[in-house]
Amino acid sequence: MFVSTASEAGKTLGGMGIVGQWLKALKGLDPAFEKQFNTLYGKDDEYVTAFVRGVDGIKRLERESKVIITSGTDTLARNAVGTSIGMTAKSAAQILEGFTYSVGAGIRDAVTGRGLDRSKKIMADSFADAIGSWKYLKDAGLAKETADAILKFNPTVRDTLFSALQETGNQELSKVSRWASALNASVDGVFRRAAFTASAEKQLRDQGLDLYTDFLGKDKAIPTAVVKRAMDDALTTTFSYAPKHHNASKRSFETMFENGASSIIKVIEDTPFASLAIPFPRFMANAMAFQYKYSPVGWLGIGNELSLARAADKAGDLTKAALHTREANMKFAQGSVGFAALGAAYQYRKDNQQDDWYNVKGWNGSTVDTRALFPLAPYFAIADFLVKHNQGEPAKTAEAFQAVVGMKLPAGTQNVFLDQLINSMSSEKDADAMAVAGGKVLGDFVGRFTQPFVVKQAFDILDMFRKDGTIARDPNVIEGEGFGAFAEAAGQRIASKLPVAKEMLPEAAVRLKETDVTYKEGEFFNRLFGTRTTPAKTAEEKEITSLNLNPYSLYGPSSGNKEFDSTFIRNANKETIPLIKEVTDDPEYKALSTLEKKIVMGEAVRSVANGVRKMTMEDMNFTPEKEVQYNKIMFNKLPVAHRSLINKYYEKENGMTLEEANDYNSYYDYQSIIQDLPAFSVGGVVEQTNKALGI
């Protein structure tokens, strides 16, 4: 249907309108016609079937769970602290960038006789940029009024900016989830309005314009490009920015990373159950982007900006050349701020190796757990890794990696879960291990829905008034097998998050603690302020931590027998704590290197723990058969590589594997040999295992 005049086009559209009205009327009068019409020309929803609807339902459930789990005041407090730290780093970078640029401009202008007026203005504008967000954060009323005025022509942007949640954006959510997250969304909105308004004001000021006199005072719309960039700045400030795809003309390391992050996030969010392994992909992308910018790695982007500046200068576009020059200066400033933060963290970790990498000393001798405080945790994690590396000690790379990417891997994930899935096809013991891991994953997922918003605080208050409410519990003691182990693991993880119900779990017997009962005091305030404060460590605990020894590995894994495990750990504590003190005070021990100390201390504690284990068996009247059964359980809990290596060593000495000989009582001796291998002590588990097995 083609037309050549405006009148003909009007007639055609009018005719189509009449047809549309007729179809609408007919559909409303005749249900049969409506059904037939939708069948022929409607959407394909009817053919999508229950499968796709089921997938959408799972993804919806995952979205709801992520909102619920982050709806508490602890998340609110951590977000506020993290955003404030990020804003502080940004302000420092802006002042440093402005100072370096103004000095350079001042020198050039002084040489050419143009005076220092331009240099002074650059420094003044940079200072105004640095305090802009803080100014609007202090005057939240002005920020709201200004942001609403800027966005009165962009209601969609306004809704996205001030109501979008960190991980789910503006995707559909239930009223319960919206209600639960209302307080967090409001606080995020305060920060976003401040950052948005400050960014818009800065962009216009860089062009010689004033936000209030040139635009808002004249009721003029702000340029779309300014609004878009201000929106991105606001979302980035609160670590809520959703990475976008950039076209090839804007190719750089940063845009390549953002393109990749955008694709990965889409895959994760579109894949059912992916949130069980990676709950918060958007935050991860923002976390890694921040770490890149505010670290020496960020200096890699300077060269690209300088090359663009030179190209613009040759083309005669001096404004664009100046823009890229300042971008290069900003990358240098951001990297310098991050380098300074890393240097401070390095010195702190070097002076405090007796504490866990994530603990910071409080004023009263207690320690504050910083793992949940981004971006503090990554600096401490990287610093601790560098300190241990420079001292020739093994470092826990997994924890450093998780801190840098802003993700704590849930129970049962990583390669361990995949290995167990594969091995379960031919091994009953690995099938049980996989069942336990799967149960923990399911339990943690269901547990997300148990503590929305202030319900967490209500649970904490209830615990404070119950005699057994603050006793530490252990949800990881599993006695069942097969599906029973799966159900038990899931049920206990859920129960651990519920008052009264968690009191049915066994009391936690904490290794290297003198007290028989461990209390989790102050949970209400820990959750209220978003950080966990713990009592100061004993001298013995500090020594074990400084050597990077894991008490869990020294004592061995739990057997699943609640009564035996609890009795054994308490008995072992009574023997190992005095032993550690005795070894630590020995002059010969003090003269050893750190690695030598680790081997000596580890062997001493393991030997005593093994002796206490046998004594505990005797005290509990273990028969020889029951002792073998217990040690078989403990052997089967070892990683596949450890079991294979023990069998290999045992076969060399006895002509058959330990499992074939049913000599499970001897596995402790071989386990000690494995843990003393140099390759194992520095993390070369795979290489050492392959070598021993002749692979």
pLDDT of 350-382, one tens digit each? 999 888 888 888 776 778 888 888 888 889 999
User: How do residues 469-497 score in pLDDT, each as one tens digit?
Assistant: 888 888 887 777 778 888 888 889 899 88
**Residue 369's beta-bridge partner residues?**
359, 532
**What pLDDT is attached to residue 203?**
92
* Least-confidence region, from 47-61, 84-98, 613-627: 47-61
The helix/strand/coil state of 44 is coil
**Per residue in 432-462, pLDDT tens?**
667 777 888 888 888 888 878 778 888 888 8
What is residue 532's DSSP assignment? E
Enter the pTM of the model.
Answer: 0.76
Q: Which of 17-26, 43-52, 288-297, 522-531 has the lowest mean pLDDT?
A: 17-26
Tell me: pLDDT of 100 over 60. yes
> What is the reported pLDDT for 685?
36
- Confirm if 341 and 380 have CB atoms less than 8 A apart: no
Q: How does DSSP classify residue 534?
A: E
φ, ψ of residue 174 to 5 degrees: the values are -75, 160
Residue (of 197, 195, 143, 188) closest to 165 by Cα position: 188
More reliable by pLDDT, 397 or 626: 626
- What is the DSSP secondary structure assignment for residue 368, as one 8-state letter? E
Non-local (6+) Cβ contacts of 38 within 8 A are: 46
Q: If you average pLDDT over each of 351-360, 420-429, 635-644, 669-678, which comes out highest?
A: 351-360
> Does the structure show a pLDDT above 60 at 7?
no
| Per-residue model confidence (pLDDT) at position 49 | 67
Distance CA 308, CA 312 (A): 6
Whether residue 43 contacts residue 52, with contact meaning beta carbons closer than 8 Å, is answered with: no
DSSP letter, residue 656 = S
Helices (H), 448-520: 455-464, 483-495
Q: What angle do CA 473, 476, 482 make, to 5 degrees?
A: 145
Lowest mean pLDDT among 141-155, 263-277, 420-434: 420-434
What integer is the mean pLDDT of 10-21?
A: 49
Higher pLDDT, 253 or 539: 539
pLDDT at 414: 36
> Alpha carbon of 650 to those of 585, 675, 687: distances in Å?
36, 15, 19
User: Is the pLDDT assigned to residue 417 strictly greater than 50?
Assistant: no
Contact (Cβ atoms closer than 8 angstroms) between residue 391 and residue 548: no
Distance from C-alpha of 559 to C-alpha of 565, rounded to nearest angstrom: 7
Half-sphere exposure of 400 (CA within 13 A, CB side): 15
Q: Is 644 exposed, middle or buried (0-12, 13-18, 19+ CB in 10 A)?
A: middle
Phi, psi of 80 (to 5 degrees): -65, -45
Average pLDDT, the chain: 80
| pLDDT for the residue numbered 35 | 55
Kindly tell me if the per-residue pLDDT of 659 is higher than 60: yes
pLDDT at 23: 47
End-to-end CA distance of the chain: 74
Quote helix, strand, coil % in the chain, to nearest 5.
70, 0, 25
The predicted model gives 92-115 an average pLDDT of: 88
Indicate the angle between helix axes 594-619 and 539-546, nearest 10 degrees.
120
Identify any residues that bridge with 533 across adjacent strands, giving them in sequence order.
368
Beta-bridge partners for 361: 367
For CA atoms 157, 162, 166, 172, give the dihedral sign.
negative
Minimum mean pLDDT range among 250-254, 287-291, 560-564, 588-592: 250-254
Q: What does the block give as tokens for 395? A: 């470092």
Quote the pLDDT of residue 39. Answer: 57
Which residues, 6 or more positions from 189, have their beta carbon under 8 angstroms from its beta carbon? 162, 163
**What beta strand segments (E) does 425-575 contain?**
532-534
pLDDT at position 489: 86
Distance of alpha carbon 94 from alpha carbon 237, whole angstroms = 14
Q: Residue 229 above 60 pLDDT?
A: yes
Number of residues in the chain: 695
Tokens found for residue 15: 């005719």
pLDDT at 633: 81
Distance CA 66, CA 22 (A): 46
Question: Nearest Cα to 583, choosing from 558, 607, 619, 566?
Answer: 607
Q: How far apart are CA 288 and CA 30, in angstroms?
A: 58
Could you report the per-residue pLDDT of 183-208, keeping only the tens digit for each? 888 888 899 999 999 999 999 998 88
What is the torsional sign of CA 677, 679, 682, 684?
negative
- Which amino acid is it at 435? A
Q: pLDDT for 241-276, tens place per residue?
A: 888 887 766 667 788 888 888 888 888 888 888 887
Reading across the β-sheet that carries 532-534, which strands appear in turn?
359-361, 367-369, 532-534
Q: Can you name the residues that pair with 368 across neighbouring β-strands?
A: 360, 533
Cα 303 from Cα 476, distance rounded (Å): 51
Show me where the domains of the chain are located. 6-57, 75-241, 352-404, 410-506
